[in-house]
């Protein structure tokens, strides 16, 4: 939520910042702004709306302006308008800030600063940061041997409770850019005589693939001569430069109209990358290097708790079925937002596994911290390398799904399920199932990417189904067993990008209430693939059909029996039930995508949403 980008170098900053903001726009898109620092003067332009709207109010870039900061916002405190848009200038007119995060004690600080004479113009929590830095800069003495701007930033941040990724400029220091981080992501790209600070690597890779990842409560001070990182107590931190592991091509649309469609179609490849080198059929092993030293503990664990939000939570539910089925380990999946505020019982021998694409989701991160405080071993299944959850957990498995830009998560879901499948097989092999069974599972899992390619060929057919039902405002998604979480995921996808109300349910639950919703022509999407509950779900289909529901079925290729019940039929290749979710979810992703496009929505930037929910 919110994207920040900052540039210091020899090139004209404005186009670099605009390009960077466009790459971060998926993080927030209700207002945007830039501040340039030139010859000791701060120039700010900001507006409600998207980066395109910001571009309309910008003057022509000035070649000599080579330092600036930018922001794309997802509003938390204060409605989206040009006053609340970032950057925020302090009351002395010297300090300007862009911020991603939430300042929890902003109200107390604001009252105090006002009593000290500071003026506020916006409703944001961020203005407290600029004013606090401005206050210490104006009234403090600084520290011997340290530049006063840096000192004022450290001093102010000691007063702040909350999360921040910050880029800060001071008009008295025309060659200095300061970044700071606590709980929100921040990366410093280190180029050839140029530096970029950003919320994520997408805004950086075009310029450099060398980066450092400051830790929480660290301040990084950048000048043309180089950079240094310090703690808030002014202790120097040694940073290691790391390589950003993705390319520009991976974050560009290519020939696709939307990132979401590109990412849906990428799944055969992203899954192959995720599983490549990990499934070792010859030696009957799954190699998960990141958690190698925890495998013993996991094998003996008495209980596993998955914790996650949204789509990642649905992946966790699939994981629950997999772990219980293959490894016979009692497993639960908890919404991170609930888990963190409960008083969870984490007996000795419980392992908590956080699942997150971004690795920055505030609730999931808080759940990780809560579990760690209670002494549990906490592992992560995360996509973004170096993200907060990846760093906070004891160990983890990266998805290697490549950057996911579309706000609606697609390829991360299938990669999460693939990682959970691999882990369940490996634990199963060590605990419960025979070597033969484990090998069979590995072989089946390795076939999934090709099977997804076959499903993707039905994209136009699925579009026609979406078109035939596009005027319906209520949909049901129903599945059983391993496909019940897929029903939840199908409903979530449809809701979030096409704004159609949808409910996902275990199919048998329908009779306990939701069946009352069924009216003539209401689309009901059934996942009715072959498996132990096939006959049961056929019964559920009959019940909905008898009440006039429009039956859309995701069935196994070659199932002729089901044709007579289906108004619309989509098929997926045959696969063991335990691996079906990675197949059955694909038509539902495509259905949501096409429905959103047919309804004229901005698929990659759905209303009220932003990628990576870094606020509670």
Tell me if 408 contacts ligand F6R by CB under 6 A.
Answer: yes
Q: Specify the residue, 420 or 528, whose C-beta has the smaller distance to ligand F6R.
A: 420
Compute CA distances 60 → 13, 33, 493, whole Å. Answer: 12, 15, 40
Active-site positions read 2, 611
Residues 6+ apart with CB under 8 A from 489: 311, 314, 413, 504, 585, 588
Report the side by side order of strands in the sheet with 177-182. 88-89, 95-100, 164-170, 177-182, 218-223, 226-231, 236-237
Residue 100 CA to residue 187 CA, distance in Å, equals 13
Binders of ligand F6R among 584-613, rule CB under 6 A? Answer: 612-613
C-beta of 18 vs 419, nearer to ligand F6R: 419
Q: Considering the rule CB under 6 A, would residue 310 count as an interface residue with ligand F6R?
A: yes
**Interatomic CA distance for residues 356 and 380, integer angstroms:** 8
- CB-CB neighbours of 215 under 10 Å: 15
Q: How far is the CB of 430 from ligand F6R (least distance, A)?
A: 28
By CB under 6 A, tell whether 615 contacts ligand F6R. no
Does residue 409 belong to the site contacting ligand F6R (CB under 6 A)? yes
Q: Which is nearer to ligand F6R, 309 or 544 (CB)?
A: 309
Shortest reach from residue 57's CB to ligand F6R, in Å: 31
Q: For the CB of residue 95, give the shortest distance to ligand F6R in the complex, in Å.
A: 32
By the 8 A CB rule, do 493 and 612 touch?
Answer: no
Q: Which of 294, 280, 310 is nearest to 396 (CA)?
A: 294
Of the residues 154, 311, 458, 498, which one makes contact with ligand F6R according to CB under 6 A: 311
The binder of ligand F6R chosen from 218, 496, 503, 577 (CB under 6 A): 496
Distance from C-alpha of 244 to C-alpha of 265, rounded to nearest angstrom: 24
Piece of the chain touching ligand F6R by CB under 6 A; list 92-100, 151-159, 309-317, 554-562: 309-317
Which SS3 state, helix, strand or coil, does residue 374 take?
coil
**Contact set for ligand F6R, span 321-360 (CB under 6 A):** 356-358
Alpha carbon 259 to its chain's center: 14
CB-CB neighbours of 374 under 10 Å: 14
> Considering only residues 103, 212, 312, 417, which one is a binding residue for ligand F6R as defined by CB under 6 A?
312
Our CB check for ligand F6R shows the closer of 170 and 315 to be 315
Q: How many residues line the site for ligand F6R (CB under 6 A)?
A: 15
DSSP letter (8 states) at residue 30: S
Whichever of 305 and 312 has its CB closer to ligand F6R, that residue is: 312
Q: How far is the CB of 408 from ligand F6R (least distance, A)?
A: 4
Q: Of 184, 364, 377, 469, which one interacts with ligand F6R (CB under 6 A)?
A: 364
CB of 281 to ligand F6R, least distance (A): 29
Rounded CA-CA distance 197/167 in Å is 7
Name the residue nearer to ligand F6R (CB basis): 171 or 589: 589
Helices within 432-477 (DSSP H only): 435-446, 448-456, 459-468
Name the residue number minimizing CB distance to ligand F6R. 310
Note the residues at the interface with ligand F6R (CB under 6 A): 309-312, 356-358, 361, 364, 408-409, 492, 496, 612-613
């Amino acid at each position: 939520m919110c994207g920040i980008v900052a540039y210091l170098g020899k090139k004209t900053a404005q186009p670099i910042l605009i390009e960077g903001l466009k790459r971060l726009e998926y993080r927030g898109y209700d207002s945007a702004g830039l501040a340039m620092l030139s010859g000791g003067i701060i120039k700010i332009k900001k507006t409600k709306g998207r980066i395109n709207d910001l571009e309309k109010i910008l003057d022509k870039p000035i070649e000599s302006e080579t330092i600036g900061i930018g922001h794309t916002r997802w509003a938390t405190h204060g409605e989206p308008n040009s006053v609340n848009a970032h950057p925020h200038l302090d009351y002395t007119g010297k300090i300007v800030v862009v911020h991603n995060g939430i300042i929890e004690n902003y109200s107390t600080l604001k009252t105090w600063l006002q009593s000290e004479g500071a003026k506020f113009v916006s409703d944001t929590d961020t203005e407290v940061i600029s004013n606090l830095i401005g206050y210490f800069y104006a009234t403090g003495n600084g520290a011997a041997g340290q530049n006063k701007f840096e000192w004022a930033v450290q001093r102010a941040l000691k007063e702040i409770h909350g999360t921040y990724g910050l880029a800060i400029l001071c008009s008295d220091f025309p060659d200095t850019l300061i970044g700071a981080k606590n709980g929100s992501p921040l990366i410093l790209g280190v180029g050839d005589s140029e530096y970029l600070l950003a919320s994520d690597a997408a805004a950086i890779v075009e310029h450099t693939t060398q980066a450092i990842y400051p830790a929480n409560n660290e301040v990084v001070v950048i000048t043309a001569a180089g950079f240094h990182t310090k703690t808030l107590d002014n202790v120097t931190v040694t940073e290691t430069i790391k390589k950003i592991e993705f390319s520009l091509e991976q974050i560009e649309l290519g020939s696709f109209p939307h990132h979401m469609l590109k990412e849906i179609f990428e799944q055969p490849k992203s899954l192959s990358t995720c599983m490549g080198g990990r499934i070792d059929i010859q030696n009957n092993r799954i190699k998960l290097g990141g958690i190698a030293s925890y495998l013993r503990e996991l094998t003996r664990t008495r209980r596993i708790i998955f914790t996650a939000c949204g789509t990642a939570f649905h992946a966790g539910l699939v994981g629950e079925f997999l772990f219980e089925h293959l490894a016979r380990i009692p497993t639960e999946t908890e919404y991170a937002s609930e888990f963190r505020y409960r008083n969870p019982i984490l007996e000795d021998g419980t392992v908590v596994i956080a699942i997150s694409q971004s690795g920055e989701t505030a609730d999931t991160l808080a759940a990780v911290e809560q579990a760690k405080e209670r002494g549990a071993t906490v592992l992560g299944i995360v996509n973004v390398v170096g993200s907060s959850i990846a760093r906070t957990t004891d160990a983890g498995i990266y998805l290697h799904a490549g950057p996911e830009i579309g706000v609606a998560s697609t390829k991360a879901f299938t990669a999460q399920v693939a990682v959970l499948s691999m882990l369940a097989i490996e634990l199963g092999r060590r605990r419960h199932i025979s070597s033969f069974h484990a090998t069979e599972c590995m072989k089946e899992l390795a076939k999934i990417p090709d099977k997804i390619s076959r499903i993707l060929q039905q994209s136009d057919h699925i579009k026609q189904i979406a078109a035939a039902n596009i005027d319906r405002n209520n949909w049901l998604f129903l599945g059983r067993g391993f496909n019940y979480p897929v029903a939840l995921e199908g409903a979530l996808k449809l809701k979030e990008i096409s704004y159609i109300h949808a409910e996902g349910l275990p199919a048998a639950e329908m009779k306990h209430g939701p069946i009352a919703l069924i009216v003539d022509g209401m689309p009901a999407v059934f996942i009715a693939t072959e498996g132990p509950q096939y006959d049961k779900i056929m019964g559920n289909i009959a019940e909905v059909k008898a009440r006039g529901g429009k039956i859309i079925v995701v069935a196994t290729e070659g199932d002729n029996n089901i044709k007579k019940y289906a108004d619309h039929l989509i098929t997926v290749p045959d696969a063991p039930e335990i691996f079906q979710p990675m197949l059955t979810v694909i038509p539902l992703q495509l259905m949501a995508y096409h429905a959103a496009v047919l309804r004229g929505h901005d698929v990659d930037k759905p209303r009220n949403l932003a990628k990576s929910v870094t606020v509670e």
